[in-house]
Chain A
Amino acid sequence: MGALDLARWQFAITTVYHFLFVPLTLGTVWFVAGFQTAYFRTGKEKYLKLTKFFGKLFLINFAMGVVTGIVQEFQFGMNWSEYSRFVGDVFGAPLAMEGLLAFFLESTFIGLWIFGWDRLPKKVHLATIWAAAVGTMLSAYFILAANAWMQHPVGYEISATTGRAVLNNIGLVLFQNTAVIAFFHTISASFLVAGSGVAAIGAWMLMKDRQVDIFRPAVKIGAVVVLLSAVVVSITGDMDAKIMVKQQPMKMAAAEALYNTTDKAPFSILSIGDVSGSSATPVIEVPGLTSFMATGSFDGNVQGINDLQAQYEQTYGPGNYAPYVPVSYWGFRLMIGLGLIAAAWALWALWRYRGGRNPKGKFFNVISMFITLGPLVGISAGWIFTEMGRQPWIVFGQQKTADAVSPLVSPAEVWISMIGFTLVYLVLAIIELRLLLRYIRAGAPENVIEDPYDDSKNDADKQLYFAY
């Protein structure tokens, strides 16, 4: 493998890994903030216990998100220096803003939240988790705006003297519809991921008959969040698809493995055979659905891969302009399918536990374990589809991935870093998973101190309420 392929693999490994923790963090922080707010408003101990329980899980996960995120910030320059040179004038701005507005906010206020229980009045301490939550949202927004620019570059011109992209409208870069919709799509999907996790953990505790009074609300709140976010995910996903068809029609064609331009294009739910060939055999097909997703009309015209390839050759010169179709096709289906299954599961969960019921059948809990991991796999598949579907471009229409790689970083160097990151990430994944399971099994704390601040403010020598 050459340095280019290795760099792509490394980016894929480190980014997919990083993005396991990101949606969990983005969603869970609101659950923690929500539970703590509920405690603050109602004074009910069960909400404080839920805050502590999910707060611990959140922090175990957050730490991994933070440290794997540092790699992301650095590897644009390390492995993709030609990309960095070409886009730095534009792409660097939202990245630097993310640091200044979001990273500082989230990391500083998370520190205050973790250690501040006995150092801050209740109200102020509650505000710190909200500040951290806002920080995570800002972080997501800026990085998604930066990514949206790679999907659909706007607000820039190509400098006549250097041949590189130069920013001329920051408002367009930050607020183009590609960015705004990607934000709401990703955030609602993150809520779906976190909500199904919260509901599943709650259901598991109910099955074991443990702390039922605490975890019944967790199941219900989690399931409701899954359902509500599934609605938002669907609406924003539909909007995203219609934009994608205009901005990156090849991606949509690849998602449906549609080789020839068609009216009333069907959507195949499953197919057999090789979708990367020019014909696969669809097993279940919904007539006109792809047309509807792409254009809003079941009769709409959807361009196929072969026609787009011909067009792009005319515009950009010879080359292959289609992404690897099987990944696009299956990634798209995994994303949608796993999200829908989770939503159906949430409905089932609400029905099952309605009005104080706690049925004991194990079947539900066994499949819950798989279904609730589904959204995490689904959101990952969605991003793999989004990024691989843009290939061969790194910046659509402007720079190819092959031209973006660092020219003098040797394959040996990338091998070393790729193996190094992969091994460390594997070990950390095992440690993190075991820690999460251990904390889930332990359940919520039996004792909680209602107001540690009140206890400690008059006693300077008191033990710290929380310490590492």
Chain B
Amino acid sequence: MELVTVWFILIAVLWIGYLVLDGFDLGVGMLLPFIGKDDLRRRVMINTIGPVWDGNEVWLLVAGGATFAAFPLWYATLFSGFYLALFLLLLALILRGVAFEYRSKHDSVKWRAGWDKAIFVGSVLPPLLLGVAFGNIFGGSKIGPIAGTPVDFPLATDAGPINYLGSFFDLLLNPFALVIGVMLVLVFATHGAIFLALKTSGEVREASRKAAVKVGVAAAVFAVVGLLWAQAYSGRVAITLPIVLIAAVLWLAGIGMTLKGRDGWAFLFSAGTIALAVTALFVGAFPNIMLSSIDSAFNLTVHNSASQSYTLTVMTIVAVIMTPIVLIYQGWTYWVFRKRISTAQIPAQSAPGRADDRFAPAKS
């Protein structure tokens, strides 16, 4: 297999890792105002992801860093082109991250309510923006050679002059991208609800199962529209359509398992759905990594945007050694925090000077 293909697959794997793992963190954050009727329930929800969300978010950073190393021209065109969308994504991630850590650091209703808003906004915006970005990457956006590029420039082997030529609104007003964005919000909300059902007991679990089913059906509608629409941009419908159909079946199976109270299976199925959907997008695009809506000659591909073989070899060795190690210790983390949490297990609110939170008198 060519090294560029290996890295195409690795980037897809990193995105699957991010969307599956941080997907449920974001889902939990989105559901905070809906399932978290009171502070105790909100704390149950936040504590299901408390130990792991930061490690999950790193998958996004590594996907970005790996894109920089393996496909620098893709990184440069995508990040400079989708500028304002990424700016908003960064603001959302900043708010969410600080909110998790600071929310419980001061015993005040107003303080916590403020951070709860930050968690909600910081959890809804990322999937919406990432979905819109994916829709534009795989459905085509206005990328092309920058003014002044010689007409005979060998774009097929060197995408150096390719830049995003459109505006922020061209990204947003792309109907396909919007559908993918809304789909991702709903899918993550469902995925988060299924995760909550798996990780909690008592009232939060019941509310989460109900939410998973309700939102899951809405997500299914958008997913069917979005993923079938994506077939219009797929270069291999014969492969990607079956993948998408399997994904759809898995999704429904996940909802079914939630109804039956089989939370573990439900979570596996929703994770599998996300993984298959991403796989379908990448397989359908290969060898393209960013489609141009102006002219397919302007597409970024694994051949015109990649680093040279020396860099790819070095990075392959690093990735082959490190990825399993990361999976092992992250997997161990989930094992350490495997117990379900209920409202009865949440200690009193923390406050300065009280490192042992259970001794802190509850105020609200």
Contacts and interface: CB of A to CB of B under 8 A. Distances in A.
B69 A92 contact: yes
Contacts of B83: 78, 406, 409, 413, 417
A17 B291 CA distance: 36
Nearest to B89: A74
Contacts of A232: none
Contacts of A119: 336-337
Contacts of B69: 88, 92-93, 95-96
A387 B101 CA distance: 32
B160 A162 contact: yes
A397 B78 CA distance: 27
Interface in A49-80: 49, 52-53, 55-56, 59-60, 62-64, 66-68, 70-71, 73-74, 76-79
Q: Which interface residue of B43, B72, B356 has the most chain A CB atoms within 10 A?
A: B72
Contact of A424 (B47, B94, B307): B94
Nearest to B46: A468
Contacts of B15: none
A55 B165 CA distance: 48
A296 interface: no
B352 interface: yes
Interface in A206-228: none
B311 A74 contact: no
A465 interface: yes
A159 B345 CA distance: 61
A138 to B, nearest CB: 11
Interface residues of B, number: 87
Nearest to A437: B352
Given A108-B330, A468-B104, A88 B72 contact: yes
B170 interface: no
Contacts of B163: 81, 407-408
B173 interface: no
Contacts of A268: none
Given A67-B97, A79-B80, A416-B84, A96 B66 contact: yes
Q: Chain A binding site: helix, strand, loop or mixed by DSSP? A: helix
Contacts of A166: 307-308, 310-311
Contacts of A168: 310
A95 B65 contact: yes
Interface stretch (B231-239, B248-256, B258-266, B314-322): B314-322
Given A438-B106, A467-B357, A112 B336 contact: yes
Interface stretch (B30-38, B55-63, B276-284): B55-63
B160 A85 contact: yes
Contact of B314 (A64, A73, A170, A428): A170
Nearest to B338: A119
A103 B330 CA distance: 12
A445 B353 contact: yes
Q: Which interface residue of B50, B65, B95, B163 has the most chain A CB atoms within 10 A?
A: B65
Given A114-B50, A408-B165, A167 B79 contact: no
Q: Which interface residue of B53, B70, B83, B163 has the most chain A CB atoms within 10 A?
A: B83
Interface string B77-88: 111110110110
A110 interface: yes
A287 interface: no
B51 A104 contact: no
B82 to A, nearest CB: 9
Contact of B358 (A107, A438, A465): A465
Contacts of B326: 100, 104, 108
Interface in B20-55: 43, 46-47, 50-55
A417 B356 contact: no
Given A78-B79, A85-B72, A447 B101 contact: no
Interface string A436-465: 001101111111110000000000111111
Interface of A: 49, 52-53, 55-56, 59-60, 62-64, 66-68, 70-71, 73-74, 76-79, 81-82, 84-85, 87-93, 95-101, 103-105, 107-112, 114-116, 119-120, 159, 161-162, 164, 166-168, 170, 406-409, 413, 416-417, 420-421, 424, 428, 431, 435, 438-439, 441-449, 460-468
8 contacts: A71-B90, A78-B79, A119-B337, A159-B308, A424-B95, A444-B355, A465-B347, A468-B47
